[in-house]
Amino acid sequence: MKFLVRITISLKEGVLDPEASLIRRALENLGFQTEELKTARQFIVRFDADDELQARERAKTMCERLLANPVIQKYEIEVLG
Amino acid sequence: MRFAVIQFGGSNCDRDVAYVLEEICGVDTDLVWFKEGLARKYDAVVLPGGFSYGDYLRAGAIAARTPVMADIRRLAAGGGLVLGICNGAQILAESGLVPGVFTVNAYPKFICRPLFLRVERTDTPFTSLYSPGEVIRIPIAHREGRYVTPPGVEKDPGFSSQVAFRFCDRFGNVTSGSNPNGSFQNITGILAPQKNILAMMPHPERASEDILGSSDGKRLFLSMIAHLSTSS
């Protein structure tokens, strides 16, 4: 079966996000006051798996082996279909 | 004795390192395309600076997962020396050969300028020709050089013994003002526990001749050569 999976990589709590602070300031210059802004990166991946459980497992392995650096990043996996 | 300088697509300091090793330090050096792997016996490997794989995903992340890294692990396990400079340091961190990660500077812009470093240890194959606490001048050139450690690692007594270089002022004081990128404890050179692998963001190959403003970096390569001469 084909599965479509959305993987979101973001910084762990407490890890400095320099780009986010800069973007927040730029928004402020445009008149947008924000209380919080975080950056994250998404990967939309389509691949074969026997079932949803296996699709999740495979996506988790992708995160652990390449997509996320566990020192500073965490990941979230959503099966879209 | 023979050194290898690994070239990835996007490496751009490979020839500078090979030039310094061969012409300035007088050691046989091969430029090795990463896909060829380490086809012969080498005593030391240098992962040079640049933008391997265009810094896609994270700086060094993709190169760290190429097959040549298995050869490099084997060389290190056999007591060979591995030096990662700038992008090479990011590759070593991404491959887990040294602890931590080098990520986006605290102010997220590219910084390229000479800086002062304090030599924290001289009992390593990379720093034996410096004096303890010596202040040396070597340039940095990076956007992703902020050193971040795994949580709690600073409590590990072994960790501080793995620190080779810290950013400092001209007098050797490690201050926040002398930290260009927000690195944890001003760290910019980190060793593997066995001390035969060094990841550093500054470029010693750009400070190996007086005409370039500093030759302080030359002694790092000469230290490696001295170590290999006595151990072989």
Residue among B107, B194, B193, B126 at smallest CA distance from B165: B126
pLDDT above 70: residue B11: yes
DSSP type of residue B149:
P
A31 CB neighbour count, 10 Å cutoff? 6
Is residue B209 over pLDDT 80? Answer: yes
B103 and B128 Cβ atoms separated by less than 8 Å: no
Q: To the nearest whole number, what is the mean pLDDT of chain B?
A: 97
Give A65 to chain B, closest Cα distance, Å: 9
Digit-coded pLDDT (tens) for B116-160: 999 999 999 999 999 999 999 999 999 999 999 988 887 888 999
Pairing of strands A40-48, A2-11: antiparallel
| A67 min Cα distance to partner chain B (Å) | 7
The pLDDT score that the predictor gives to residue B174 is 98
Domains of chain B (ranges; CATH) run 2-231 (3.40.50.880)
Q: How many percent of chain B have pLDDT more than 90?
A: 95
Q: How far is CA B61 from CA B80, B155, B172, in A?
A: 23, 27, 33
Choose from A69, A73, A75 for mutation: most chain B CBs within 10 A.
A69
What mean pLDDT comes out for the span A10-30?
96
Buried-state track B127-148, b at ≥16 Cβ within 10 A, e below 16:
bbbbeeebbbbbbbbbbbbbbb
Contact criterion met (CB < 8 Å) for A69 and B58: yes
Cα–Cα distances in Å, from B202 out to A34, A60, B33, B180, B217? 37, 35, 23, 11, 9
Interface pTM (ipTM) of the complex?
Answer: 0.91
Token code pair at residue A55:
């699709």
Give the pLDDT confidence of B88-127 residue by residue, as tens digits.
999 999 999 999 999 999 999 999 999 999 999 999 999 9
> pLDDT (tens digit, 9 = 90+) per residue, A34-77?
999 999 999 999 999 999 999 999 999 999 999 999 999 999 99
pLDDT at B232 over 70: no
Q: Is B110 on the interface with A (CB under 8 A)?
A: no
Q: What is the pLDDT of residue B155?
A: 83
Cβ-Cβ contacts under 8 Å, B61 against chain A: 66, 69
Q: Rounded CA gap, B121 and B127, in Å?
A: 7
pTM over cut 0.80? yes
B145 Cβ under 8 Å from any chain A Cβ:
no
Give the pLDDT score at B192.
Answer: 97
Q: What is the mean pLDDT of residues B157-172?
A: 96
Kind and range of the H or E run holding B73: helix B68-77
* Chain B positions in Cβ-Cβ contact with residue A20 (cut-off 8 Å): none
- 8 A C-beta contact, residue B203 and residue B49: yes
- Cβ atoms B116, B179 nearer than 8 A: no
pLDDT, residue B109, reads: 94
Pairing of strands B28-33, B163-168: unpaired
Q: Say if residue B161 is exposed, middle or buried (CB neighbours under 10 Å; 0-12, 13-18, 19+).
A: middle
Delineate the domains of chain A, giving CATH numbers in brackets: 2-79 (3.30.1280.10)
Distance, in Å, from the CA atom of B81 to the CA atom of B196, rounded to the nearest integer, reads 5
Q: Minimal Cα distance from B105: which residue of A?
A: A18
- Cβ separation A71–B149 shorter than 8 A: yes
pLDDT at position A20 over 70: yes
Q: Which pLDDT does position B112 carry in this prediction?
A: 97
Is residue B59 very low, low, confident or very high in pLDDT (cuts 50, 70, 90)? very high
Q: Within a 10 A sphere around the Cβ of A19, how many other Cβ atoms?
A: 14
Own/partner pairs, B69-78, CB within 8 angstroms, 24+ separation: B69/B95, B71/B37, B71/B38, B72/B6, B72/B38, B72/B45, B72/B47, B72/B97, B73/B97, B74/B38, B75/B38, B75/B42, B75/B45, B76/B192, B76/B194, B76/B196, B76/B197
Nearest residue on chain B to A69, alpha-carbon basis: B94
Indicate the pLDDT class of residue B187, thresholds 50, 70 and 90: very high
Q: Which residues of chain B does A64 touch, with a Cβ-Cβ cutoff of 8 Å? A: none
Q: Which residues of B are catalytic?
A: 86, 203, 205
User: Is the CB of residue B182 less than 8 Å from the CB of residue B176?
Assistant: no
Q: Establish if B94 touches chain A: CB-CB under 8 angstroms.
A: yes
The pairing of strands B44-47 and B28-33 is unpaired
Q: Is the pLDDT of residue B74 over 90?
A: yes
Size of interface A-B (CB pairs under 8 A): 32
